[in-house]
Structure 1
Amino acid sequence: MSEETKSTKTAPRKKTKKISSKLLTYILPVVVVTVLALVVIAANLSKNRMEEMATETLESSISNQADNIDAWLKENLAYFSTVKYMLENLNPPESEIPTILDAFYGYNSNSPKGFYIGTSDGKLYKASEADFSDSNVTESTWFKQGLSRIAMAYGTAYTNDQGETVISATGILNDGSDNMKVLGADVTLNKISIIVNSGVKMDGASSFLVDTNDDKILAHREVSMVGSTISDSSSDPLLQGAAQAIHEGSFNSREIAGNMVAFAEVPGTDWVLVSYIPIRVILSTVNQMGMILFMVGGIAIVLIIIIILYVVRKVVAPLTHISENITAMSEGDFTIEVDSSSDDEIGVMGSRVTDFVSSMRSMLSHISQESERLQGESDNSDRVSKTMFEASQSQAEAMKQLNETVDQLATAVNDIAANATTLAQVVADTRENSDKAHESMKETVGISQKGRDDMEKLSVAMAGISDANESLVESINKVGSASEEITNIVGMISEIAEETNLLSLNASIEAARAGEAGKGFAVVATQIAKLAQTSAESAQNISNLIDEVRKLIGDAVGQANASAESIHQNSELISVAVDTFDRIYTNIQESNGLIEAMIEDVGKVDDVATNVAAISEEQAASADEILATSENMVEMANNITKSSQDVADNSQELAGTSKTLTSYVQKFKI
């Protein structure tokens, strides 16, 4: 028994796995990943849709709140305007004003302190039951705001003497008297807070109202926050983000500090309503839905696995019988019968295995017959190969001696040819490098001449720059003189503005004395006073700008002087550089002459080396041809010897193979 047969018997059988197990290994991960991916996609889509719906609801809610605040403000303002109109038509004496104000006290719940009137001489009139006081009427916020309005209008929020944050509706009371009067009514922020806090349509959402004039909070669900100011540096991230959006004037809905925030401007005011809801509140429903989706996905995965297990086992079952038959064939048993009754791919596989078994039976019978005939022919080949091997050994020995002699001759000739070729190549390279050096030297001569010309041009340009710099200094000095004249003119404008302001003040006094006939003139005088004040401020700004211009002119003059000094120094350096270029140009011309002489000598050496190399190459070629012929003859003799030995070895191997083949065929059952 051969070694190959023994190793085949003793080799351990490879561990096999079932096809159903492999199918499940590949299919189940794909199914699980697909279901989980669908669940994650559905959860993300639900999250995005919930955020969109929450934003839409929040924007609708805040828009409704802004409309309610606007309607409430307009309703109160209409009432206040009606009272103002009545007072102007009654034109009561100042002694009857408190009685009239008592009549309107308590009529409007949104203005619990009723109406009050302030005069330009510092008097305050109010209802007798009103809890209202003002220590300095003419300097109060509501009085100053009222002086700028003919009709009743709301002002900014402020803190009154009682420490309450209120907004006042004020306006000039035109009752025909000479004394300037302002009618006002405080509106508490309680009602606005109720509208702001009760108008939110979403659970968990909140709102607050901000006055953009001073960034004060007018309404908030926390009473302590009312009257406080928000800014970009607020400690609360939500208030800080809202302040940044308000200052930027960007009122689009956005996410701030984990909250979805919407903005709405209240029409007719400088107020901005801010409504917000935590993102976690919005996503609470989405998280519940996500848990449900993951549970449904888990149940779906379990059901799909059960169905796949049933289908795979049902389909793969016929393969078990075919696998048993193939195992029997691998052990040499070709007497088996394979079931091919199935009408699918497995049935086709069984049919092909049956055809293979029939073919193997016929093949093994023919191999057994041919192996016996091969045994006899291998014995004859072994005898002939031994005779050929002895003759080829003698011929190979003689050819080897001839090859050694020719090889020594070829080596000597090749050494001579190689040395001559190397010499010719070195001379050729030297000549080529000399030509390149000559061309480079010519180019260097041109470049040095051009550099000298450029340096002379640069010297002329530096002189022009110096002249231009001096002209620039003179122009800057003229600008300084002109700025002094502008300063004198601005001073005259300031004096005119001060005199105009005094004239407008006198005109206002005279208009107040004129009574009804001077009211129009009083308005004009007020506008003239504002224009005079604006002119004085503009004149001061111009004076400040001129001072800055003077400083800049002084800096420019200093820099121009420094530039002039630097230009002078550079001009001297350029002159030195021109002299240096002249010396370089002279040395390069001398070097160029020496290189031309060297190139002529190298050309002569190149001709001699080329002739020597040509002769040596011809001799080396002849020697190589003789050596190649000798080597071919030696190689042919060695091949004959090797071939005869191979024939002998193959004859012996063929005899052994014939025996092995016969033993293999005997193992099969046919």
Structure 2
Amino acid sequence: MKNAYIRIILLYILMQKGDVRMKNDRQNTKMLKGIKAKLLKILLPCIAIAIISIIVISYMASKKIIVQEAKNLLRAESKMNAKELETWTTGILNTLDMLQNTLETVPMDEETEKTYLATTVNMNQDFPNGVYIGDDHGKYIDMSGWVPDADYGITERDWYKEGLTHKSFAFGTPYRDADTGEFIVSATTLLKTSNGAKTVAAADVFLNYASKMVSDIKVMDDGYAFLVDKNSHTILAHKDQKLVAQTISSDSKDSYVKAVADKIDKKNGKVQNVTVGNTVYYVEVEPITGTDWVLVSNVKESTVLEDLKGLQTRIILILVLAMVIIGFLIERIVHIVVEPIKTLTKDIGKITDGDFTVNVQTKGQDEVAAMGNGMQKFIGTMRNTIGTIFSISGQLNQQAENSSSVSEILYRSAITQSTSMKELNSTVEELANSVTEVAENTTSLAMIVSETDQIGHNAS
């Protein structure tokens, strides 16, 4: 009976452990899946954010550097082109200054002056009409063959007024020639004379060379430049001939020209940004030394950033490829890290089900290996404990069997004693009956004796 009771208890415990094992298996599966997925969910976004941040920062830094280098290149090209124009204007002014020196230092009468001025005609292709002079006394000498009208007022002419303010040859305000339609600028100067007259020497310089030079300028392969008189804001040279001679102002029809109008007078040594619609231009305004002209050079920002856009596309492709490779590597690393935990968890599940025959295999010297070694020690301890429990259980079982035999002997003795007691009880009952009969007989005898004694008294 007792053995059966123990077996029932053990069976119940095993059934409970079986239920726990099934629950643990489901929980362990969810847990393992959850750990790996959780690590990937944390690591992949963090790495993606880090890589994207690095690439964005690198892109912005590259863009800043490229833009700065482009502006430096624009400034350098603008200065170089301005120097070419300066070389041209300086060459003309130096030639004219030598003529001025001759006119001022060599004594000449009017005829000699005419002869000398005649040598200046076709001397230079830029001022083919040579040098002409006029004074406030009405003298006018022009050996190009042009004869002024009778009412031609010398002192009222712009070239004469400009010349009065110059001590050496300098350019005035450009204008369009009425006969040729070409742009001309008068180079004028006040001559030192001995007759007390205010004499001005002038030369009409054609801007054909400057116009061709400016029209041929290509800034960074895609940009262009144009020449502007700073005083009148008149365009002197432009690749678009329709804009030549137009005045730059806020009323200009050309959107870019209109936008750049307020930049002409701002020379701060920096490349300026001009936005026209959705297009951004980098603009450099470079003055031409010895003149009131400025060379306006520009290039589109999209041209500057064209190579950067190609780099951006390549960076995006590299980013995607890097994310795929890094994602795969992280998945493998997480798998390698989680796999020992998964194996250890399975072993722990077997142990919780009562299987202490498991041997926990560990590698390395990390925390997981330490935990595995600890579990192996625990298994050894539990094996010894279970062995001791089984030994004690055997002893208890043997004692239980011995107690059962003793109980059976005692039971049989009790039955024998019970039978004897029944027989003794019957004997005692018969004895009581006999005693009762004797008592009754004794009572009867006593009554007879009493009666006899009474009869004896009566007889005496």
- The TM-score with structure 1 as length reference comes to 0.48
- 2:321 aligns with 299
Measure how far apart 1:76 and its partner are. Answer: 0.8
- 2:299 aligns with 277
Measure how far apart 1:276 and its partner are. Answer: 1.5
* Distance in 1 of aligned mates of 2:168 and 2:282: 39
Summarize deviations over 1:219-259 as a string: whole Å, max 9, x none. 32222323222235545554345432344553422222111
Summarize deviations over 1:198-232 as a string: whole Å, max 9, x none. 56562223222222222222232222323222235
Q: Rg larger in 1 or in 2?
A: 2
Q: Which residue of 211, 234, 242 corresponds with 1:224?
A: 242
- 1:421 aligns with none
Residues 120 and 190 of structure 1: is their aligned pair in 2 closer, same or farther, counting only changes over 3 Å?
A: same
Q: Which residue of 162, 167, 182 corresponds with 2:200?
A: 182
Summarize deviations over 1:358-399 as a string: whole Å, max 9, x none. 677859979xx9xxxxxxxxxxxxxxxxxxxxxxxxxxxxxx
Measure how far apart 1:278 and its partner are. Answer: 0.9
Q: Which residue of 310, 313, 321 corresponds with 2:335?
A: 313
* Distance in 2 of aligned mates of 1:189 and 1:336: 105
Q: Would you say the 8 A contact 2:174–2:186 is kept in 1? A: yes
Q: Specify the code of the residue in structure 2 equivalent to 1:83.
A: L
SS in 2 for 1:151: coil
Q: Which residue of 7, 30, 39 corresponds with 2:55?
A: 39
Q: Would you say the 8 A contact 1:208–1:220 is kept in 2? A: yes
Q: Which residue of 23, 27, 34 corresponds with 2:39?
A: 23
Measure how far apart 1:283 and its partner are. Answer: 0.6
Measure how far apart 1:50 and its partner are. Answer: 0.8
Q: Would you say the 8 A contact 2:285–2:297 is kept in 1? A: yes
Q: Specify the code of the residue in structure 2 equivalent to 1:183.
A: A
Residues 303 and 150 of structure 1: is their aligned pair in 2 closer, same or farther, counting only changes over 3 Å?
A: closer
Q: Specify the code of the residue in structure 2 equivalent to 1:270.
A: D
Q: Which residue of 90, 106, 124 corresponds with 1:74?
A: 90
Tell me, yes or no, if structure 1 residue 56 matches structure 2 residue 72: yes
Q: Would you say the 8 A contact 1:338–1:353 is kept in 2? A: no
Q: Would you say the 8 A contact 1:338–1:350 is kept in 2? A: no
Pairing of 1:404-553 with structure 2 (within 5 A) = none
Q: Would you say the 8 A contact 1:168–1:184 is kept in 2? A: yes
Pairing of 1:537-576 with structure 2 (within 5 A) = none
Measure how far apart 1:308 and its partner are. Answer: 3.0
SS in 1 for 2:119: helix
Measure how far apart 1:144 and its partner are. Answer: 1.7
Measure how far apart 1:196 and its partner are. Answer: 3.7
- 2:225 aligns with 207
Q: Which residue of 155, 167, 170 corresponds with 2:188?
A: 170
Q: Which residue of 131, 139, 142 corresponds with 2:159?
A: 142
Q: Specify the code of the residue in structure 2 equivalent to 1:25.
A: K
Q: Would you say the 8 A contact 1:263–1:273 is kept in 2? A: yes
Q: Would you say the 8 A contact 1:111–1:187 is kept in 2? A: yes
Residues 74 and 343 of structure 1: is their aligned pair in 2 closer, same or farther, counting only changes over 3 Å?
A: closer
Which has more helix, going by share of residues? 1
Q: Would you say the 8 A contact 1:62–1:200 is kept in 2? A: no
Q: Which residue of 150, 157, 175 corresponds with 1:158?
A: 175
Summarize deviations over 1:152-194 as a string: whole Å, max 9, x none. 2221223343343321111234565576543211112222234
Residues 251 and 208 of structure 1: is their aligned pair in 2 closer, same or farther, counting only changes over 3 Å?
A: farther
Q: Would you say the 8 A contact 2:182–2:208 is kept in 1? A: no
Measure how far apart 1:280 and its partner are. Answer: 0.8
Q: Percent identity among equivalent residues?
A: 28
Q: Specify the code of the residue in structure 1 equivalent to 2:345.
A: S
Residues 188 and 347 of structure 1: is their aligned pair in 2 closer, same or farther, counting only changes over 3 Å?
A: same
Q: Would you say the 8 A contact 1:61–1:199 is kept in 2? A: no
Q: Would you say the 8 A contact 2:216–2:239 is kept in 1? A: no
* Distance in 1 of aligned mates of 2:233 and 2:269: 15
- 2:411 aligns with none
Q: Would you say the 8 A contact 1:263–1:275 is kept in 2? A: yes
User: For the aligned residues, what is the CA RMSD?
Assistant: 3.8
Q: Which segment drifts farther, 72-81 or 10-19?
A: 10-19
SS in 2 for 1:260: strand
Residues 349 and 118 of structure 1: is their aligned pair in 2 closer, same or farther, counting only changes over 3 Å?
A: same
Tell me, yes or no, if structure 1 residue 255 matches structure 2 residue 276: no
Q: Specify the code of the residue in structure 2 equivalent to 1:81.
A: D
Measure how far apart 1:148 and its partner are. Answer: 3.2
Measure how far apart 1:55 and its partner are. Answer: 1.4
* Distance in 2 of aligned mates of 1:251 and 1:97: 46
Tell me, yes or no, if structure 1 residue 333 matches structure 2 residue 351: no
SS in 2 for 1:118: strand
* Distance in 2 of aligned mates of 1:312 and 1:268: 74
- The TM-score with structure 2 as length reference comes to 0.67
Q: Which residue of 266, 269, 274 corresponds with 2:288?
A: 266
Measure how far apart 1:97 and its partner are. Answer: 5.8
Tell me, yes or no, if structure 1 residue 114 matches structure 2 residue 135: no
* Distance in 2 of aligned mates of 1:312 and 1:178: 102
SS in 2 for 1:104: coil
SS in 2 for 1:228: coil
Q: How many residues align?
A: 363
* Distance in 2 of aligned mates of 1:152 and 1:176: 19
- 1:552 aligns with none
Which 5+ residue runs of structure 1 have no aligned equivalent? 370-670
SS in 2 for 1:202: coil
Q: Specify the code of the residue in structure 1 equivalent to 2:342.
A: T
SS in 2 for 1:298: helix
Q: Which residue of 322, 330, 353 corresponds with 2:344?
A: 322
Measure how far apart 1:279 and its partner are. Answer: 0.8
* Distance in 1 of aligned mates of 2:195 and 2:274: 55
SS in 1 for 2:221: coil
Q: Specify the code of the residue in structure 2 equivalent to 1:111.
A: F
SS in 2 for 1:44: helix
Summarize deviations over 1:627-664 as a string: whole Å, max 9, x none. xxxxxxxxxxxxxxxxxxxxxxxxxxxxxxxxxxxxxx
